[in-house]
């Protein structure tokens, strides 16, 4: 980890380096400071660990000290054992396609407002740092879809949701990355120094938002198509005493901020950068969007958007080339014997308490699985989407029972924004754009070196959206 801490390498490059240590081996080992890590390199073995024998490897290694950051430590990703299983079952109905569909209108309203702003930028402001802009969009979507609060972070960049969300979720600074590593590798030190990611007054703000909304709805019977309503509806189906508490609702609602505020905006920045570098791909996406709108009387419906196969291929290829998470981890809870790493070696027993890593970044860029793997080529997914998805070599949202529960929400959030923006604008390389794409070294989250600078130009002939009504969304 020395090269990462010295800011000489990105996390993705570190993972790929470990993956390539011995091309003959099914797994290799290295140390995360003082913690021994087993890095799985064989797809069949990865499937065995994450799916077939998931009961032996059911948990993630703790990312934060729950005594220091109780709200962060109470998110689904951080829970282990029976507690994780129970909460996963409570949350799963919230993230079905039908439930995401009900939130589509809220996302579309945010995306439409955002695209309108970009299409009307004065010429001298068209070169812009996309990350700072796109976090405003993800903030507005989370505030609306989760907390029932309508904010416009473009016009009001100092709104409390955006300010607190930025403070609490950003891992793009070296200081925050070091804090993360201390929490993970020396939780006693994190407790001693009280290294908080979410300050107490910010945690109280998010608690009050949820508690007041839940209390108001229980008293008045009002309803809304958001996450909190789904939490409340699920509680009614559970046995008395086994419902989700208000604090648990607060923790899981904050998951959207911690998991989506930064990562979704960063991933969308990468898509935008790749479209700017590949104008032929961008033109093809815009043509698909235009045809979809023309066939739907100017309405962008949920089903019509998810029928856009080329847009889906572009996002899938971006997630392959630059996955949101560089590695997946699993904690062993029951001793498990791995086969010999190489012919002639002895089997290796993973002891309870040991940590397994799956090197997503390395596998996604391995020429064994992808022809010309460093090339951005959406056609590989457009033509072979199902084959790649079933190959075991594509895992942008994880694998097995602990696959990311919010992947549909994140993908819909990205797609609806790209549809609205690309219908009205084109994305171009700008003087401050760094090509090819480079990332900051020594930070946990993926962020562009010196930012994601791009130019936005209004399209000469853009398609006009019709107002998306609630009935249009439900009938779609």
Residues tagged in the binding site annotation for heme: 404
Q: Give the residues across from 336 on adjacent strands.
A: 350
User: Two tokens at 464?
Assistant: 């006009």
User: Two tokens at 272?
Assistant: 């935008």
Residue 341 neighbours by CB under 8 Å, 6+ apart: 22, 25, 26, 27, 28, 348
Residue 156 CA neighbour count, 13 Å, CB half: 9
Residue 88 CA neighbour count, 13 Å, CB half: 16
C-alpha span between 85 and 99 (Å, rounded) = 21
C-alpha span between 429 and 435 (Å, rounded) = 9
Helix (H) or strand (E) holding 129: strand 127-129
Binding-site residues, in ranges, read 404
CA distances 68 to 15, 158, 188, 203, 339, Å, are 28, 27, 10, 12, 39
Handedness of CA 445, 446, 450, 451 (dihedral sign): negative
């Amino acid at each position: 980890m020395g090269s990462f801490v010295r800011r000489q390498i990105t996390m993705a490059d570190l993972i790929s380096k470990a993956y390539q240590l011995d091309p003959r081996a099914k797994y290799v080992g290295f140390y995360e400071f003082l913690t021994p890590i087993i890095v799985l390199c064989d797809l069949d073995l990865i499937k065995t660990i994450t799916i077939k024998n998931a009961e032996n490897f059911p948990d993630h290694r703790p990312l934060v000290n729950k005594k220091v950051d109780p709200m962060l430590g109470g998110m689904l990703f951080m829970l282990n054992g029976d507690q994780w299983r129970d909460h996963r079952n409570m949350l799963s109905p919230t993230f079905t396609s039908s439930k995401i569909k009900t939130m589509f209108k809220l996302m579309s309203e945010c995306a439409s407002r955002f695209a309108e702003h970009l299409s009307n930028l004065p010429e001298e402001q068209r070169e812009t740092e996309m990350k700072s802009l796109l976090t405003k969009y993800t903030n507005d979507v989370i505030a609306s879809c989760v907390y029932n609060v309508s904010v416009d972070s473009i016009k009001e960049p100092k709104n409390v949701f955006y300010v607190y969300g930025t403070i609490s979720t950003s891992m793009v600074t070296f200081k925050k990355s070091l804090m993360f590593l201390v929490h993970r590798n020396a939780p006693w030190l994190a407790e001693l120094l009280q290294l908080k990611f979410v300050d107490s007054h910010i945690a109280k703000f998010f608690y009050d938002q949820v508690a007041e909304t839940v209390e108001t709805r229980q008293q008045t019977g009002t309803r809304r198509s958001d996450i909190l309503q789904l939490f409340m509806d699920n509680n009614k189906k559970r046995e008395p005493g086994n419902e989700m508490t208000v604090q648990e609702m607060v923790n899981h609602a904050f998951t959207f901020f911690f998991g989506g505020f930064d990562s979704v905006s960063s991933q969308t920045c990468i898509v935008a950068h790749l479209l700017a570098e590949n104008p032929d791909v961008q033109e093809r996406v815009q043509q698909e969007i235009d045809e979809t709108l023309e066939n739907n009387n100017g309405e962008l419906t949920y089903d019509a958007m998810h029928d856009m196969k080329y847009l889906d291929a572009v996002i899938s290829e971006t997630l392959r080339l630059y996955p949101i998470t560089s590695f997946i981890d699993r904690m062993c809870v029951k001793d498990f014997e791995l086969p010999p790493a190489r012919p002639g070696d002895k089997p290796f027993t993973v002891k309870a308490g040991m940590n397994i890593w799956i090197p997503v970044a390395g596998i996604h860029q391995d020429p064994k699985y992808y022809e010309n793997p460093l090339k951005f080529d959406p056609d590989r997914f457009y033509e072979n989407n199902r084959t790649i998805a079933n190959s075991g070599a594509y895992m942008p949202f994880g694998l097995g029972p602990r696959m990311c529960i919010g992947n549909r929400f994140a993908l819909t959030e990205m797609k609806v924004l790209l549809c609205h923006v690309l219908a009205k604008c084109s994305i171009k390389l700008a003087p401050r754009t760094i090509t090819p794409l480079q990332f900051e070294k020594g930070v946990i989250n993926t962020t562009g070196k010196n930012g994601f600078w791009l130019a936005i130009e209004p399209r000469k002939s853009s398609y006009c959206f019709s107002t998306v009504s609630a009935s249009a969304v439900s009938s779609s």
